[in-house]
Amino acid sequence: MSDKPVILTDQNTGKSVELPIIRGTEGEPTLDIKSVAPELGYFTYDPGYAGTASCTSKITFIDGGKGILRYRGYPIEQLAESSSFLEVAFLLLNGELPNQDEYTEFVNEITYHSMVHEKLNTFISGFHFDAHPMAMMAGVVGSLAAFYHAKLDMNNPVERKLAAMRMIAKMPTLAAACYRHYMGWPSAYPLNNLSYTERFLHMMFSVPAESYKVSPVAAKAFDLLFILHADHEQNASTSTVRLVGSTGANPYACVAAGISALWGPAHGGANEEVLKMLEQIGHVSNVAKFVDKAKDRDDPFRLMGFGHRVYKNYDPRASIIREAAHEVLDELGRSDPLMDLAMELERIALEDEYFIEKKLYPNVDFYSGIIYRALGIPVSMFTVMFAIARTVGWVSQWLEQANNPSRIGRPRQVYTGPAERPYVDIEQR
């Protein structure tokens, strides 16, 4: 049975408009409001786009009430358990899981594109040594357009796909180069005989003075974290990539814009802020005081890694990452007082009426830093880890939009500034 349209009637004029109902794959109802402005003469106002769909997409499905996340229909729990990051990258880009030949070819192509132009290392060497790695990444990824854009025919789907593959392949190389610049180490180059995460870890931590053996625990943990961070429908950074892409800008500029959006502490930058918050809390005995601060509307302090615009239930990624954090610490034979602190903070918050009433649960950023820290990643690089993984989602969403040309994104506003007034010469002011 198809839905009857919703009738919107303006009681001031008596005019009505029929608003068709669009239902997504899971039956989620959406009102098509395209006709409201031209037929009723009203803009619609939804700050933060809390209830607004910006596009249709076949890539990722989230049910925030049930805590469901699926990539191309596959539950995140099953992909986390059985897949690999590059297999998930193939799935997000192409819509289907690869067969063995497709997977082998895809891995080889990503491996082939993992090197970067040597001038990019020169570019990175120009940053102050203690520049924030996200600042470096936003700059250097945007500069890829200066190395590859000239030959990029944006109207050619083959070249668009090549640009997407190049970014997936080169993000770890650029991230490691930023870290090595900070450490004052010489460049490290991608080794084609390693897997995606092994190659990344080798570029991050190998030094010329001795051979470096990649920890299988670390390689496996990063592969899982990259799967969990790969895509998340129309979040702030992905929406940024789509908006920039809607102008016809090149994909390198789109991803650089996504990196900048991700950096914010309300978004991907939260993983870095969670660690700083846990270190600020310091001890379990201080947890109650900080939970009270988070509840105080006059206090700007928020529980970082908690809350989500869409999930009003447990973020399924947070559950998986919490278990992985325990496994990594166990396999490394370590404990981390901040893990104990995080779990106590979660326990107290989830029992607190404020967090229950506002449906605030741990999100993807709450436990991820515990793993990064255990594996030697400095806090300033946490959001770069997120960016490496989310590049797959960004380029998949950019390609989906580029392959189905859409109108340029151009929101309107409610103007609340001064009404018309005449110019006054400076002598009369």
- Supply the minimum distance, in Å, between the C-beta of residue 365 and ligand SDX: 5
What value does the CA radius of gyration of the chain take, rounded to a whole number of Å? Answer: 24
Among 22, 146, 207, 266, binds ligand SDX (CB under 6 A): 266
Q: How far is the CB of 425 from ligand SDX (least distance, A)?
A: 45
Question: Does residue 180 belong to the site contacting ligand SDX (CB under 6 A)?
Answer: no
Distances in whole angstroms, Cα of residue 89 to Cα of each of 26, 158, 170, 194: 23, 17, 14, 17
Residue in the block written with tokens 């950023």: 365
Count Cβ atoms within 10 A of the Cβ of residue 99 and give its class: 0-12 exposed, 13-18 middle, 19 or more buried.
exposed
Write the DSSP symbol of residue 128. Answer: -
296 vs 340, which CB is nearer to ligand SDX?
Answer: 296
In our burial notation (b when 16+ CB lie closer than 10 A, e otherwise), range 223-245 reads: bbbbbbbbbbbbbbbbbbbbbbb
The count of other CB atoms within 10 Å of the CB of residue 113 is 17
By CB under 6 A, residue 334 contacts ligand SDX = no
Decide whether 117 or 309 has the Cβ nearer to ligand SDX: 309
Task: For ligand SDX, give the closer residue by CB, 34 or 358.
Answer: 358
Told to check if 388 binds ligand SDX by CB under 6 A, we report no
Least distance from ligand SDX to the Cβ atom of residue 265, Å: 6
Nearest approach, Cβ of 341 to ligand SDX (angstroms)? 16
Stretch that binds ligand SDX, among 29-37, 156-164, 304-312, 408-416 (CB under 6 A): 304-312
The whole-angstrom distance between residue 111's C-alpha and the CA centroid of its chain comes to 23
235 binds ligand SDX (CB under 6 A): yes
Stretch that binds ligand SDX, among 74-82, 106-114, 301-309, 400-408 (CB under 6 A): 301-309
Considering only residues 343 through 362, tell me which ones interact with ligand SDX, judged by CB under 6 A.
358, 360
Of 145 and 325, CB closest to ligand SDX:
325
Pairing relation of β-strands 21-23 and 60-63?
A: unpaired
Percent of residues in the chain assigned helix, strand, coil, to nearest 5: 55, 5, 40
Determine, following the binding rule CB under 6 A, whether residue 276 of this chain makes contact with ligand SDX: no
Stretch that binds ligand SDX, among 83-91, 188-196, 305-313, 418-426 (CB under 6 A): 305-313
Q: Interface with ligand SDX includes 363 (CB under 6 A)? A: yes
Site string for ligand SDX, 48-67 (x = CB under 6 A): x-------------------
Instruction: Specify the stretch interacting with ligand SDX by CB under 6 A; choose among 114-122, 128-136, 264-272, 409-417.
Output: 264-272
Asked if 262 contacts 383 with a C-beta cutoff of 8 angstroms, the reply is yes
The correct pick among 98, 305, 316, 369 for binding ligand SDX (CB under 6 A) is: 305
Determine if 372 is a binding residue for ligand SDX (CB under 6 A): no
Tell me the catalytic residues. 267, 308, 365
Q: How far apart are CA 115 and CA 127, in angstroms?
A: 20
Shortest Cβ distance from residue 222 to ligand SDX (Å)? 17
C-alpha span between 394 and 64 (Å, rounded): 21
Residue 210 bridge partners (DSSP): 207
Residue 136 to residues 118, 182, 427: CA-CA distances in angstroms?
16, 10, 47
Segment 410-417 long-range contacts (CB within 8 Å, at least 24 positions apart): 412/43, 413/43, 414/43, 414/45
Question: Within 13 A of 366's CA, how many CA atoms are on the CB side?
Answer: 29
Choose which of 306, 367, 382, 394 interacts with ligand SDX (CB under 6 A).
306
Q: Does 294 bind ligand SDX (CB under 6 A)?
A: yes
Nearest residue to ligand SDX on Cβ basis: 307
Applying CB under 6 A, does 307 fall inside the site for ligand SDX?
yes
Rounded-to-integer distance, Cα 233 and Cα 39, Å: 31
Q: Report, in Å, the least distance between residue 379 CB and ligand SDX.
A: 15
Rounded Cα distance between 175 and 310, Å, is: 29
Q: How far is the CB of 273 from ligand SDX (least distance, A)?
A: 7
- The residues that touch ligand SDX, with contacts defined as CB under 6 A, are 48, 232, 235, 266-268, 270, 294, 297, 302-310, 358, 360, 363-365
